[in-house]
Amino acid sequence: MSKLVLLILGISLLLVSAVSAQDLQLDPLQPVNAQITADTLANGTQAHTRYLVASNTYYAFDGALDVDFDLVIEGPDNGWILNDATPPIFFQTPASDGSARDMINLNQGGSATLKNILLTGLHPNDVNISSFVRNFAGYKMVFDNCVFTDHRDHVTRSTGATDEITITNCVFINADRRAYSPFGGMPYRLDAACAALTFENNTVVNSGRLHGNGGNFFTSVQHEIHNSFLNQQVNAHETHWFEGIQANNIFYNWSFRGRKDDTNGYEAHFTPWDYFADVEFKLDSIALYHGRNLMYLEPTITDFFTNSLADSVMPCFLWSSEIDSTIEADNNFTIGKNYGYVDPGFTSHPGNTQAMMDWVFANWNPDLRPTDTPDWRVTPPVTWSSTGQPTLNWPPAWDLSYSNAALLTAGTDGLPLGDLNWFPSAKATYMANRATYIAALRDSMVNATSLYIPGDTMSALITPSVGIYDNQPAVPGEFRMSQNYPNPFNPSTTIEYSIGKPGLVTIELYNTLGQKVATLVNGNKSIGNYEVTLDASSLTSGIYFYTITAGEFSQTKKMLLLK
């Protein structure tokens, strides 16, 4: 440990920032847990409320920190942490027997707020931390602009009920699955209810799963909006929510482990929505909207299933067919259209797909497994030498901004799908109008019209382009009109419609007073699929209604213009 202390001393910056009476600057030469535990007044309360740390500095734990107060650990705000080349770095040291130890335990009355820091779960002896923060009886966790990397099981696991969990602008890397069990490695797991859970504008690269809820309970509110998820081994979501919004996310290489016919159970679905069968008499209490997410598997993966696994392994399901009866029974339980088979065209891909396929092959062929589990991690942000000296490999080489023009305006808010931190101007727009966008998503729980239709598997995805009906031939006698996209919009939006019988077709736009403000279509159309674009540059912000009339068919939908 002496070499590590000398290293920390050598790389620490001068701590010259002003510190208020409520703040304490942590000393990188002393264990974090020991310093904070000792910072206690005679009456048992904390002497300080916020603990500050410096850029380009390593901070070590030498055991778990037990918290029954409002803990805040905060680094300098240098913008999005993925662009900060010198963040503060936290790590845990192994126990005397070499085993892994967690960092923070929340007990009665405790909360944890972590901001602008990088936490590595890779111990100097190459074992992985199980969880960074374990909540046993605390009431709140807030993680903003942090990096969590190379943990084994969960960034946080909550076995006690909480009022709030808010995770925003964070980067998760290498939920370390150097094993053949894929059923771990997730940002969070809830084994008790959470009144309000927000997971927004985060990037997750390499996970075993995504979000886990254990047991038959239902969290009150869960918002999972504008996140980029890459390379997830198995099913992502256990959805036990009274209100759940899951929208505008990218799920790239979702459930890449695949499934077999004899494993078409729990692990075969992206989300086991059939769990809602347990509340068949409480359906009026449940509201769900899942829509405008991108579900994509690289062709390398689907080709691997066909060519290297002898067609015995197949892509996973999005959800169980049992969910159809729940949708039919409850009009607040809504699955919207999602995008499928659309490659975003990332600026710089992590490039570990072949290593992932090596793991998949070994997973399904236990008799052919190599001595060491195939390692499909990207380069860990922090690595260790044999003498316990750390190396910071940061920022990462990959860049998840993308060039697919259709996806750049494909969100329900007209913004790019995925983590908006990759698109700073779009992020600024989102934050300025966030309340309005969330309200529109809540409205979609009841009023969404671009929907998955129970029993019609083709209705689940918009493929292969942004158009809703692009790959679905017009059906004679069937008329359809889509929800405009994007919505809300500024200044233009597109409406797609399908004509099942030749004749005169009109699409007209009305304001909330019932006054016609535009005629978008007025002419004879043959059987086929069409689209029309509205340029609302001359209109004021607000709600508008558009109506299609084709023979005896008439339908009206609502759109929202935000300027």
Looking up tokens 């099942």 gives: 500
478 token code pair: 């069937």
Last residue of a domain, one of 408, 435, 466: 466
Higher pLDDT, 25 or 558: 25
Last residue of a domain, one of 466, 485, 509: 466
Average pLDDT for residues 326-346, to the nearest whole number?
79
Confidence label for 314 from pLDDT (cuts 50, 70 and 90): confident
Specify if 517 maps to a domain: yes
Confidence label for 475 from pLDDT (cuts 50, 70 and 90): very low
- The pLDDT tens digits for 348-367 are 999 999 999 999 999 999 99
Specify if 167 maps to a domain: no
Specify if 80 maps to a domain: yes
- In this structure, are 309 and 198 located in the same domain? yes
Evaluated on CA atoms 396, 235, 142, 137, the torsion sign reads negative
Query: Do 522 and 506 touch, CB atoms closer than 8 A?
Result: yes
Rounded to 10°, the helix 424-432/434-447 angle is 70
- In this structure, are 146 and 235 located in the same domain? no
| pLDDT of amino acid 488 | 77
- In this structure, are 408 and 524 located in the same domain? no
d(CA 402, CA 404): 6
| pLDDT of amino acid 242 | 73
Q: What is the CATH number of the domain that holds 504?
A: 2.60.40.1930
Average pLDDT, the chain: 86
Confidence label for 485 from pLDDT (cuts 50, 70 and 90): confident
Residues listed for the chain = 563
C-beta neighbour count of 325 within 10 angstroms: 14
| pLDDT of amino acid 17 | 43
Average pLDDT for residues 4-28, to the nearest whole number?
59
| pLDDT of amino acid 5 | 39
SS3 readout for 166-235? EEECCEEECCCCCCCCCCCCEEEEECCCEEEEEEECCEEEEECCCEEECCCCCEEEEEEECCEEEEECCC
Higher pLDDT, 70 or 182: 70
Specify if 523 maps to a domain: yes
- In this structure, are 311 and 454 located in the same domain? yes
Average pLDDT for residues 163-181, to the nearest whole number?
94
Specify if 292 maps to a domain: yes
Specify if 26 maps to a domain: yes
Give the rounded distance of the alpha carbon of 159 from its chain centre.
22
52 token code pair: 């500050």
For residue 279, the enclosing domain spans: 177-349+399-466
- Is the model's pLDDT at 461 over the cut of 90? no
- In this structure, are 190 and 237 located in the same domain? yes
- Is the model's pLDDT at 231 over the cut of 70? yes
Say which DSSP state 30 is in.
S
- In this structure, are 420 and 272 located in the same domain? yes
Looking up tokens 């960092």 gives: 103
- In this structure, are 105 and 244 located in the same domain? no
Specify if 379 maps to a domain: no
- In this structure, are 276 and 185 located in the same domain? yes
Say which DSSP state 48 is in.
-
Specify if 182 maps to a domain: yes
205 token code pair: 């690269």
Q: Is 477 helix (H, G, I), strand (E, B) or coil?
A: coil
- In this structure, are 435 and 489 located in the same domain? no
Average pLDDT for residues 154-160, to the nearest whole number?
95
Q: How many domains does the chain have?
A: 3
- In this structure, are 439 and 499 located in the same domain? no
| pLDDT of amino acid 458 | 59
Q: Is 476 exposed, middle or buried (0-12, 13-18, 19+ CB in 10 A)?
A: exposed
- In this structure, are 71 and 219 located in the same domain? no
- In this structure, are 206 and 299 located in the same domain? yes
Q: What phi, psi does 264 have (nearest 5°)? A: -80, 45
Last residue of a domain, one of 418, 449, 466: 466
Poorest-confidence range of 11-20, 330-339, 402-411, 521-530? 11-20
d(CA 46, CA 23): 11
Average pLDDT for residues 102-116, to the nearest whole number?
98
| pLDDT of amino acid 335 | 80
| pLDDT of amino acid 278 | 56
